[in-house]
Amino acid sequence: MNKQIEYLKSRVGAGKLSRRDFIGKVGALGVAATAANVMLADAVKAAGPTKGGMLKLGVSGGESTNTLDPALVASEVPLNVLRHWGDTLVQVEADGSLTNRLAESVESTADAKTWRFGIRKGVEFHNGKTMTPDDVIKTIERHSNEDSKSGALGIVKGIESMRVDGDVVEITLETPNADLPYLMNDYHLVIQPNGGMDDPTAGIGTGAYTVEINEPGIRHGFKKFANDWDDSRGHAAETEILVINDATARTAALQSGQVQMINRVDPKVAKLLDRAPNLAIRNVSGRGHYVFIMRTETGEFVNNDLRMALKLAINRQEMVDKILRGYGGVGNDMPINAAYPLFDDTIPQREYDPEAAAEFYKKSGHDGSPIILRTADGAFPGAVDAAALFQQSAQAAGIPLEIKREPNDGYWSEVWNKQPFCASYWGGRPVQDQMYSTAYLSTADWNDTEFKRPDFDALLLAAKAELDLVKRKDLYSKMGNMLRDEGGLICPMFNDFVDAVATNVEGYEEDPNGELMNSFAGIRCWTT
Amino acid sequence: MHPVLTLVAQRLALGILLLFAASALIFVGTQILPGDVAQSILGQSATPESLANLRKELGLNEPALSRYFSWLGNALQGDLGTALTNGRDIAESLGKRFANTMFLAGSAAIISVPLAIFLGLLAVRYKDRWPDKLISAVTLTSISIPEFLIGYVLMYFISVKLGWFSSVAMINDGMSFFEKLNAIALPVMVLVMVVLAHMMRMTRAAILNVMQSAYIETAELKGLSGFQVIAKHAFPNAISPIVNVVMLNLAYLVVGVVVVEVVFVYPGMGQYLVDHVSKRDVPVVQACGLIFAAVYIGLNMLADIISILANPRLRHPK
C-alpha cells in the first residue's frame, strides 16, 4: 500500500493528479481524509512550488488616496503592493531571524556605530537598470530628507554619514545602534532607482512583480518580473489585490472563490468560517495590538491621573474574550509583549479596578463632562464594540465616556494621530527598539500618544548602544514601566493575525511579523 | 409656436434655473462646513503661516461670491478642478466613476422599469385575486428589507452557496461587456428588488384610477379582453403619474446607492463622494453635488416633458 501511496504522491507532486482525485484514491486505500490532506501537503511541498497561474488577494485597508510612494505607505493594501514590486536590504523572517535581501552581507564595528552593507550584484530594476550602491544611498537620503514625509524618517534620521566603498554601503550613525539591520528591514525603505528622487510614485523596484494596474482604493494588478534576482519567490504568473474594506464582502469573496486569501477575518465569524470545506483560518499570535490612544499633550489628557483612571477602567480580559473571541492575549499598557526578545515578564499585569479608577478620576479633578472617544469599524475589527465595552466598564468607575463613531475612510488621515482620544492598532515591530523608536521617541512622526519625555529618549539611546543583553533588558524594562504608568497608551489586547486562505493555495506560512505572512503572501504563495 | 414646444421650452428653462439654484446651495453648503479647507487639510500640524499660505494657494481669501462665480464658470467649461487629497484631476477620476454608476443604474433600470409596469398591469388585471396579492406581498417585502441585508443574503445563497455570480462587483476597462454584466448581476438584483415595489404600486394605483372612467366601460362593451383594455386604453392615460414615479426611482438608482456599492465593492460615484466628504475634499464634493443635482433635475424634467407629450389635449390643440 505504501508503494501505491508513494506513487500517487509523486503523481500529484508532478501535477498529473488533481487534489480531489488524490484524496479519493488514497481514501480507497483506507487512508482518512485528514491524513490524506497532510500527505498531499507533503507531496506538494516536496515537489516545490507550482509556477504560473493567478493569485488573488482580498485585502482590507486601502483608500482612494493611496499612492505608490513607499515613503507614504501606512496601511495594509499599499504595504502589500510595496512587497510586490520592491525589496529592502534585509528582511525579518517568521522565526525572528534576519536574512539578507538586497544586501549580501552585514557587518558592524565593535561599537555598533559604523555598519557596512555589502550590496548584491547583478540585481535588475524593472526599468532594466542594474541596482548600484548609489541607489541604496539615494533611497536612504530621500527618506531622511529634512522635508521628507516618510514614515521611516524617525528611523533613518540618526544617520550621520553614508559612503560607497566599492560594492559596500557604509553607514555611520550619530549614536551607536545594535539594531540597525532590523531598522533597515522597515518596509518604507524599499530600494528605488536613484532613490526614487526622480519619481517616487513610479513603482519601479527590484521586486518579484511589476505593477501593471494601479487603481487606488479599487485594485492593484501585478505581473511576474522575468529578470527577478530571487527565484525562490514570485511563483504565480500574475497576482491581483482587490481592495475590499467591508468584512462581510471580503469573507464572501473568499468563500465564492473570487479571491484566494483575505486578511483581517472578523473573529466573530472565524470559527464558523473555519468549518467551510474549501478554506482554512490561519491565525498567528504576534506583536500587533489594539489600542486606545490618548494624546498626552492635548486637552484633558495632559493630566496623568486622568490617564491612569482610564487605564484602570478598562476590562482587558473581557475585551480578549468578547472582541477577539480568544484570538489574542491581554495587554499591559505598553506596546511590548512576550513575543519580543528581551521582554521583562516580571512587570505586573494591570487589572480592571473600578474603585482605584474612580479614585484617580477624582484626584484628576476632571469636570465630569463626557470624555470623547473616537472609533470606527476600520480602527480595528470590533473597535466600535470595544469602545462600547470600555464605555460600560468606565461607567462602573463613574467615568463618563462619549463614543463618537467616525467614518472608516479617512480615519487614518483625519482622526488617528490628530484627535485627542481614539481607537487604533499597531502592527508591531521585530524588536523593542524599533517599536519604541517608531512611536514613543519624542521626535518620532508616529508618536501618536505625544509621549515626549527626554528621560525616556535617553533610556532608548542607552539601550541602543548597550551590547550587554542583561543590562539592555533592564533598560527596556524601565522604559516599559514608564510607558505603562505615565504614557498615553491604553493597550487592552494583543491580537492574533487572522487570515483565511483557500485550500488550493500552497506556500502559506504563519508569520508573527504581520498579517498575510507579513504581507509577503502574494509573492510567496502559489495555487495548485 | 406649437403649445407643446412652448411648454417644453418652459420646462427646460425652469430646469436650468433650478440647476443654478442648486449649484448656489451646494456652494453655500460646503462653505458652512465647520473649519475651512485649509484647516482640515493641515489638521493639527497647522501653523498660522502654513495656514495663510495654503489659504492663499487655494484662493480662500477671495470673497465668497467671486469664488462661487469662478467655480461655476470653470465647471461650465468642464473644469472641475483637482482633488485636494491626492491632487488628481476631478473630471477624470469622476468621469470613470460616473460611467460605472450609470452602467449599474442603467442595467437595473432596464430590468426593473418594464418588470414593474408589467407586474402593475398584471396586478390590475387580476385585482384582488391571488396574483395581485402575491405580487404586492413579494414586492412590498423586498422594499421593506434594508438593501445591505438583501445584498448579504443574495451574496450568501447565490454567490457562496450556488457559485453563480461574483460577490465582488468590481468592474474595469479590461472586461468585456458580458463579463461586466456578470460581475454586476448581484447588485442589479438588489437594486431591482428595492425599486420594484414603488413603481409597481404606482402603476397599479394609476391604472385602477383610470379604470373607473366611462371610456373603459365602452372598451369593455366593445368586447375587448381584460388585458387589452388595460394595455390599450387605461395605460396610455395613466402614463403621467407612472413616469413621475419611474423617474424618481431612476434618480435614486443614480444618486442613492452608496450602501450597495460598498457591500459589493463597486467602484461607483456614491462611494467616491462619501470618501471625499469625510476628508473635506470640497472641490470633489461640489463636483459630485453638481452632477447629482443635474441628474435629479434632468430626470424630473424628462418626466414632466413626457407627461406633457403623453397628454393628447396638449398634443392636439384646437
CB contact under 8 A, B86 and A65: yes
d(CA A140, CA A159): 9
Cell numbers given for A20:
480531489
Pick the closest to residue A242 from A77, A83, A85, A86 (CA basis). Answer: A77
Q: How far apart are alpha carbons A248 and A266 in whole angstroms?
A: 9
Q: A235, A50 in Cβ contact below 8 A?
A: yes
Radius of gyration of chain A (CA): 24
Strands A238-243 and A54-59: parallel
- By Cβ distance, the residue of B156, B265, B279 closest to A414 is B279
In degrees, to the nearest 5, what angle opens at C-alpha A180 toward C-alphas A179 and A183? 95
pLDDT score of B230:
79
Rounded to whole angstroms, how far apart are CA atoms B199 and A23? 54
Cell numbers linked to B37: 479647507
Measured between alpha carbons, how far apart are the two ends of chain B, in Å? 14
Q: In which residue ranges of chain B is pLDDT below 70?
A: 1, 33-51, 54, 57-59, 84-87, 278-280, 317-318
Choice between A10 and A387, residue whose per-residue pLDDT is larger: A387
DSSP B154-208: HIIIIIIIS--S-S-----TTS-HHHHHHHTHHHHHHHHHHHHHHHHHHHHHHHH
- What 3-state class would DSSP assign to A103? strand
Whole-angstrom Cα distance, residue B150 to residue B191? 9
pLDDT in tens, A255-269: 888 899 999 898 888
Give the helix ranges, DSSP H, for A303-399.
304-312, 316-322, 354-364, 383-396
CB < 8 Å to B262, chain A:
245-246, 249
pLDDT at residue A290, rounded to an integer: 93
Which among B155, B192, B167 has a CA at the least distance from the CA of B265? B167
The verdict on B170 touching A (C-beta cutoff 8 Å) is yes
The answer to whether A72 faces chain B, any CB pair under 8 Å, is: no
pLDDT of residue A384: 92
pLDDT, tens digit, for every residue of A424-457?
Answer: 998 778 788 888 988 899 988 788 899 999 999 9
CA of B22, closest CA in chain A: separation in Å?
26
pLDDT tens figures, A331-371: 999 999 888 888 888 999 999 999 999 999 999 999 889 99
Q: Which long-range contacts (CB under 8 A, 24 or more apart) does B221-229 make?
A: B226/B125, B227/B121, B227/B125
**Dihedral, B225, B226, B228, B229 alpha carbons, nearest 10:** 110
Which tops the pLDDT comparison, B4 or A392?
A392
Question: Count of A–B CB contacts within 8 Å?
Answer: 83
CA distance A121 to A441: 36
- Average pLDDT rounded to a whole number, residues A472-476: 92
Chain A partners of B167 at a C-beta cutoff of 8 Å?
249, 252-253, 255-256, 258
Cell for B76? Answer: 461650465
Query: How high is the pLDDT of residue A276?
Result: 85
CB-closest option in B168, B172, B279 to A249? B168
Nearest-CA neighbor of A519 among A59, A103, A199, A16? A59
Could you identify the residue written with the cell 487603481?
Answer: A215
Facing residue for B262 by CB, picked from A67, A246, A258 = A246
- d(C-alpha B200, C-alpha B114), whole Å: 10
One DSSP character per residue, A432-496 reads HHHHHHHHTSTT-TT-TT----HHHHHHHHHHHH---HHHHHHHHHHHHHHHHHHSSEEEEEEEE
Task: Name the grid cell of A360.
Answer: 484617580
Contact A249 B264 (CB under 8 A): yes
- Retrieve residue A80's grid coordinates: 502589500
Chain B, 47 to 86: residues with Cβ < 8 Å from chain A are 85-86
Produce one character per residue of A263-280: b if its CB has 16 or more CB atoms within 10 Å, e if not.
bbbbbbbbeebeebeebb
Question: A77 φ, ψ to 5°?
Answer: -65, -50
Task: Give the mean model confidence (pLDDT) for residues A305-311.
Answer: 94
- Cα–Cα distance measured from residue A301 to residue A313, given in angstroms and rounded to the nearest whole number: 15
Residue A95, pLDDT score: 79
Asked if residue A427 lies in contact with residue A148, where contact means CB atoms within 8 angstroms, the answer is no
Question: Among A128-132, A294-298, B48-52, which is the least confidently predicted range?
Answer: B48-52
- Lowest average pLDDT, out of A114-123, A141-150, B203-212, B230-239, goes to A141-150
Q: Does B155 touch chain A (CB under 8 A)?
A: yes
What type of residue sits at position A517? M
Minimum-distance CB partner of B170 among A219, A410, A413: A219
- Quick check: B44 contacting A, CB < 8 Å? yes
**Cβ atoms within 10 Å of A237's Cβ, excluding its own:** 15
User: Residue B118 corresponds to which cell in the numbers above?
Assistant: 408589467
Predicted local distance difference test score (pLDDT) of residue B44: 43
pTM for the model stands at 0.75
The pLDDT tens digits of the residues spanning A325-339 come to 888 889 999 999 888
H helical segments located in chain B: 3-31, 37-42, 48-58, 64-76, 90-125, 130-144, 147-154, 177-183, 185-210, 214-222, 226-228, 235-255, 258-263, 269-278, 282-310, 312-315
Residues 6+ apart with CB under 8 A from B46: B38, B39
Q: Can you say whether residue B127 is alpha, beta or left, with left for phi > 0 and alpha for psi between -120 and 50 degrees?
A: beta
CA torsion B261→B267→B273→B274, rounded to 10°? Answer: 50
- Taking an 8 Å cut-off on Cβ atoms, the answer to whether B265 and A257 are in contact is no
Q: Say yes or no: ipTM exceeds 0.90.
A: no
B43–A249: do the CB atoms touch at under 8 Å? no
- Helix or strand holding residue A224 (H, E): strand A219-224
pLDDT, average across residues A157-178: 88
CB contact burial B74-93 (16+ within 10 A = b; e otherwise)? ebeeeebbbbbbbeeebeeb
- Considering only CA atoms, which of A411, A59, A421, A424 is closest in space to residue B275? A411
Nearest to A252 among B167, B172, B272 (CB): B167
Write down the pLDDT at residue A317: 93
Which amino acid is residue B228, in one-letter code? Q
CA distance B202 to B119: 11
B175 vs A: CB within 8 A: no
Partner A contacted by B149 (CB < 8 A): no
Q: Binning pLDDT at 50, 70 and 90, where does residue A40 land?
A: low
Backbone angles phi, psi at A494, to 5 degrees: -100, 125
Reduced to 3 states (helix: H, G, I; strand: E, B; else coil), residue A501 is strand
Q: What is the pLDDT of residue B45?
A: 46
User: Which residues face A242 on adjacent strands?
Assistant: A58, A219
Nine cell digits for residue B123: 396586478
Residue A17's SS3 state is coil
Residues A221, A240: Cα–Cα separation, whole Å:
4
DSSP element (H, E) containing A27: helix A19-28
Q: Which residue has the cell 510614485?
A: A201
How many Å apart are CA A42 and CA A36, to the nearest integer?
A: 10
Count Cβ atoms below 10 Å from residue B227 Cβ, excluding itself.
13
Chain A residues within 8 A of B274 when measuring between CB atoms: 407, 409
Whether the CA torsion B81, B86, B92, B94 is positive or negative: it is: negative
